[in-house]
Amino acid sequence: MGFQIPKIRYTGRINKITIGHGTGSITIGGESCYPFYLFEGEMPNPPRIAFEVWDHEPQDWQEWALEPYRDVIHDSTLWARKCIDTYGAQAIALQLKSADPNGMDADVDSVVNVVRRVVDALDVPIILWGCGNDEKDALLLKAVAEVCEGKNVALGPVSEKNYKQIGAMAIGYNHVVIASTPIDVNLAKQLNILLGNLGVSDNKIIMDPTTGGLGYGLEYTYSVMERDRMAALTQEDVKLQYPIMCNLANEVWKTREARLKKDDEPKLGDEKRRTILMEAVTAVTLLLAGADIVVMRHPEGVLLVQNIIKELMA
């Protein structure tokens, strides 16, 4: 008996989403098969990696995380430029962490000032990621949408609680929204429907499934993404046919095993290489589950993952 590859007949396709404007824009999505199953479908747009940049100087980063950015980390604009000019970043995710009411609680105006300076200085697509507090993000991202007019940025996280405010501004200023739900297929679908009803078009939505780092819930994110893709591609669930973004950097770098030094626990090995690998393995695992954009921190980890994407797509 001759061998024939049993193929899946995919009935759906992921929407294509463009972020950024002009020559600096990127398009993600468009897949007609499971991630990298190129023997039976296509991935017209390779998954992308965005470098994360914070809106303020981080206080608790490991030395080996600071190392690539030490000269620029005090200034978000210089930091972002270094990611692009030195490390070849194709996209920037600006994390608006200072706004967190449970943290620095910076006021909206001051955060928006940072956003304005960074956005004006960049020519790559930008993701603007709020602090995760629904009320604060509603105010913050509304204002951000306004100052980013014409840049076609991606705004997130947009939740069930604040999708109306942020969604309306995104429509008004023609931005992409990142719909964020807590590791659940039905909640993800529900929020996409709500955004659709509000008038956000299908080529303006990216999904954030909520990301768990390696050893800290990665498997939940992994399986929910696989279920999202299964529904989108084989069960004609049009309300799940959106690209997926995973904001993974901080989920990995904040963990205990990413902070311990070799001197603290010799059998964990070199701390820098270990953390870079923990970040890269998390990213690759999520890419295999269907991520279209992953947000990463360390340039060496980015390079490793970039190469894996290139080889899987070769």
Partner 1 sequence: MALTGIQIFKLLPKTNCGDCKFPTCLAFAMALAAGKTELDLCPHVTEEAREELSEASAPPIRQVTTGTGDYEVRIGGETVMFRHEKTFFNKPGFAILIEDTMKNNEVERRFSQLNSCQYERVGLILRPEMVALKDTGNKENFIALVKRASTEPYSIILMSSDTSVMKEALEILKTKKPLIYAANHENYESFGSLSKEYNCPLTAKGNGLEDTASLVEKLINIGLKDLVIDTSTRTLKEGFQEQVIIRRAALAGKYKPLGFPTITFPCEMTDNLMKETVIASCFVAKYAGIIVLSDFQGESIFPLLLQRLNIYTDPQRPMTTQEGIYPINNPDAASPVLVTCNFSLTYFIVSSEIENSRIPSWLCVMDTEGLSVMTAWAAGKLAGDLVGTFIKGCGIVEKVERKRIVIPGYAAAILGDLEEELPGWEIIIGPREAAHIPTFLKTMKQQ
Binding to partner 1 by residue 304, rule CB under 8 A? yes
Binding to partner 1 by residue 308, rule CB under 8 A? yes
Binding to partner 1 by residue 87, rule CB under 8 A? no
Binding to partner 1 by residue 41, rule CB under 8 A? no
> Is 284 in contact with 220 (CB distance < 8 Å)?
no
Binding to partner 1 by residue 284, rule CB under 8 A? yes
Task: Compute the C-alpha angle 80/84/85, nearest 5°.
Answer: 110
> Is 170 in contact with 145 (CB distance < 8 Å)?
yes
Of 18-26, 149-157, 187-195, 211-219, which segment contacts partner 1 by CB under 8 A? 211-219
Of 20-28, 42-50, 77-85, 226-234, which segment contacts partner 1 by CB under 8 A? 226-234
Binding to partner 1 by residue 178, rule CB under 8 A? no
Binding to partner 1 by residue 74, rule CB under 8 A? no
Q: Round to whole Å and give the CA distance between 17 and 44.
A: 12
147 vs 281 by CB, closer to partner 1 = 281
Binding to partner 1 by residue 231, rule CB under 8 A? no
Binding to partner 1 by residue 180, rule CB under 8 A? no
Of 3-11, 161-169, 198-206, 236-244, which segment contacts partner 1 by CB under 8 A? 3-11
> Is 61 in contact with 298 (CB distance < 8 Å)?
no
Instruction: Specify the residue for token string 């206080």.
Output: 59
Instruction: Specify the residue for token string 């046919």.
Output: 241
Of 42-50, 77-85, 153-161, 281-289, which segment contacts partner 1 by CB under 8 A? 281-289
Torsion-angle region of 269 (φ positive above 0: left; ψ -120 to 50: alpha; else: beta): left
Binding to partner 1 by residue 66, rule CB under 8 A? no
Q: Round to whole Å and give the CA distance between 312 and 29.
A: 16
> Is 166 in contact with 142 (CB distance < 8 Å)?
yes
36 vs 173 by CB, closer to partner 1 = 36
Binding to partner 1 by residue 161, rule CB under 8 A? no
Of 21-29, 61-69, 163-171, 280-288, which segment contacts partner 1 by CB under 8 A? 280-288
Query: Site for partner 1 (CB under 8 A): how many residues?
Result: 58
Binding to partner 1 by residue 314, rule CB under 8 A? yes
Of 74-82, 144-152, 164-172, 255-263, which segment contacts partner 1 by CB under 8 A? 255-263
Q: How far is CA 204 from CA 15, 32, 83, 103, in A?
A: 9, 19, 26, 31
Binding to partner 1 by residue 36, rule CB under 8 A? yes
26-29 and 16-19 as β-strands: parallel, antiparallel, unpaired? antiparallel
Tell me if residue 32 falls in helix, strand or coil. coil
| Binding to partner 1, residues 123-152 (CB under 8 A) | 132
Burial class (CB in 10 A: 0-12, 13-18, 19+), 266: exposed
Q: Round to whole Å and give the CA distance between 274 and 249.
A: 14
Binding to partner 1 by residue 274, rule CB under 8 A? yes
Would you give the DSSP letter of residue 217? B
Helix, strand, coil % in the chain, rounded to nearest 5: 45, 15, 40
Give the residues lining the site for partner 1 (CB under 8 A). 2-6, 36-39, 60, 102-103, 132, 212, 214-220, 222-223, 226-227, 230, 254-257, 259, 262, 266-271, 273-274, 276-278, 280-281, 284-285, 288-289, 300, 304-305, 307-308, 311-314
